[in-house]
Chain A
Amino acid sequence: MVDKRITNNIAVGILWLAAGITVAMLGAIILYVFVNGVRALSPAFIFTWPHGVNAEGGIWPTIISTLYVTGLSMLICTPVAVLAAVYLAEYAHQGRIVSLIRFAADSLASVPSIVMGLFGFALFVETMHLGLSMLSASMALSLLMLPIVMRATEEAIRAVPRYIRWGSYGLGATKWQTVSKVVLPAATPRIITGIVLATGRAVGETAVVFYTMGQAINLPISPLQSGRPMTVHLYLLAVEGINLPAAYGTALLLMIMILGFNLSSRWILKHYRKV
């Protein structure tokens, strides 16, 4: 019989290796995009328009389109998601309807983005005649963000200790007063964390916006205008493969933005976690 300590050491070594490979892959992808992208990155690249046959120059309108559509979807998604979570955490009693809502939220979270893209195209772009626009894309994206924000908010509300609520009820506050004045403020940092994470996901989404937003390079002003987000720009550059420096630059900027969203959500959580 093999010594159990030898088996143990081999097995633990393999687990180290698995984690090492995972981290190495992350490192390889980030490093590769960084090394190749940093050369393209400059204030001119960020703040000027693309021009010419091969999208030389900058990517300014695509950055604005991405921020515009993400901001708008956040505005659409947040109130619905937060209030839905308030219902699930504070008002609902276990039952058929609640488990239906949870099943729907889980399903929504797992809808493949291409399905959401086609749905958004069929409903918002064609049937509702919103056209390829910021609004169409935002509504499709907000459906994708909804379950993420809902879940984060529900967890945040549940993490607020019971006795805080009892204190509020004891003072004669109604349920809504308790929720709005006591529970939600206490849960806010974690709710914001959830929103920021969901927003980060929306920034990186491609297939949904592909069919709801269009590809026209445009600086969107009204929500009914079309635009080209960074992800679609990157896809088109990667597929056309002619101006690769700009593709690397776009990819790097996209990753920096998402990294920013991730880190800021961690920061919020760390600095404001009082409960």
Chain B
Amino acid sequence: MLCAVLLLGAGGCSGSRSGNSKQVIVTGSTTILPIAEQAREGFESANSGTSVLVSGLGSSAGIEAVAAGTSDIGTSSRDLKEEEEGLGLIDTPIAFDGIAVIVNPDNPVKQLTLDQLRDIFAGKITNWSEVGGADLKIDLVNRDEASGTREAFKKIVMGDDAHFDKYAVVLPGTGQVRDVVARTPSAVGYISVGFVEPRFTATAVKALVIDGVTPSEETVADKTYPIARTLHFFTKGEPSGLTKEFVDYVLSDEVQNGVVVDAGFVPVKEGSE
């Protein structure tokens, strides 16, 4: 009986994806998830009868999905890897993001150089006193490997030679990193600049000055802040139809100056690719 149900299901589903042109499937970066989800709301209410399905599975999953054709848009907070460049994906930058290095507000350390930061996350500097702080063991808080934030941090801060200390705590979400750092005097982590200020909680974290530059929307936009990256929408070929409408909507002033700024990211000028 179960088998009959299974077969029925298999037969019934084959045509379901193709017939539905009023739908845009957006998969990928958890960093871009807030932008995509809020843009979805505005887009759906402006275009009745359309639906945008947004999933946050990580940048790699998004690129894989759009290349395989199971998604219309793959969102990514990293650039394409070498092996992904031949997939025929078109890149539309939709925002900039700076990664802030955060510590507990009680931590007297105010700034680090990129080199110090690298040594801290590689596990070479293990006490805050080595970088001008109190005599306190450093507790690293890292992100999971699916995270685009980790990938960007690794690329920009760690470079090719240094490796993350593998004994560090690995947390799967920005909010958890922020919460743990806010409550642990010895902790250090990294999150998008937009999440440094508290939203729903009273807990506070302190963003460090890196190489003499304070992370802010201005320093991220003018690229003086060293740990910054571009957020992408990838499409298989030039976007068309409803997909193009959605991409254009995300690039419109309404979203760029609304959602993107609200989410703590820095807008791109339209057509800046």
Direct A–B contact in the complex, CB atoms closer than 8 angstroms: yes
Using CB atoms and an 8 Å cutoff, list the residues of chain A in contact with chain B.
Answer: 51-54, 76, 79-80, 83, 128-131, 133, 135, 139, 142, 214-218, 222-224, 226, 236, 238-245
Using CB atoms and an 8 Å cutoff, list the residues of chain B in contact with chain A.
Answer: 1-2, 5-6, 9-10, 12-14, 16-17, 34, 37-38, 41, 51, 53-57, 171-176, 178-179, 195, 199-201, 259, 262-263
Other A-B contacts than A131-B17, A142-B2, 5 sampled, CB-CB below 8 A, are A139-B5, A139-B6, A223-B9, A239-B172, A240-B174
CB distance from A123 to the nearest CB of B (A): 9
- Asked if A53 and B54 sit within 8 Å, CB to CB, the answer is no
Nearest 8 interchain pairs by C-beta: A241-B175, A239-B173, A53-B34, A240-B175, A242-B175, A216-B53, A240-B173, A241-B179
**Most chain-A Cβ atoms within 10 A of its Cβ — which of B10, B56, B175, B179?**
B175
A-B contact pairs, 28 of them (CB 8 A): A53-B37, A53-B199, A76-B2, A128-B9, A129-B10, A129-B13, A129-B14, A131-B16, A133-B13, A135-B9, A139-B5, A215-B55, A215-B56, A215-B57, A216-B55, A218-B51, A222-B16, A223-B9, A226-B53, A238-B176, A239-B171, A239-B173, A240-B173, A240-B175, A241-B174, A241-B176, A242-B174, A243-B199
**Most chain-A Cβ atoms within 10 A of its Cβ — which of B1, B56, B172, B200?**
B200
CB distance from A133 to the nearest CB of B (A): 8
- Asked if B14 and A53 sit within 8 Å, CB to CB, the answer is no
**Most chain-A Cβ atoms within 10 A of its Cβ — which of B2, B51, B56, B195?**
B2
- Asked if A245 and B55 sit within 8 Å, CB to CB, the answer is no
- Determine the chain A residues whose CB is within 8 A of the CB of B57 once the complex forms: 215
Which chain B residue shows the least CB distance to A131? B13
- Determine the chain A residues whose CB is within 8 A of the CB of B16 once the complex forms: 131, 222, 224
In the complex the two chains form, what is the Cα distance from A130 to B262 in whole Å? Answer: 37
- Asked if A53 and B56 sit within 8 Å, CB to CB, the answer is no
In the complex the two chains form, what is the Cα distance from A206 to B142 in whole Å? Answer: 24
Which chain A residue shows the least CB distance to B14? A129
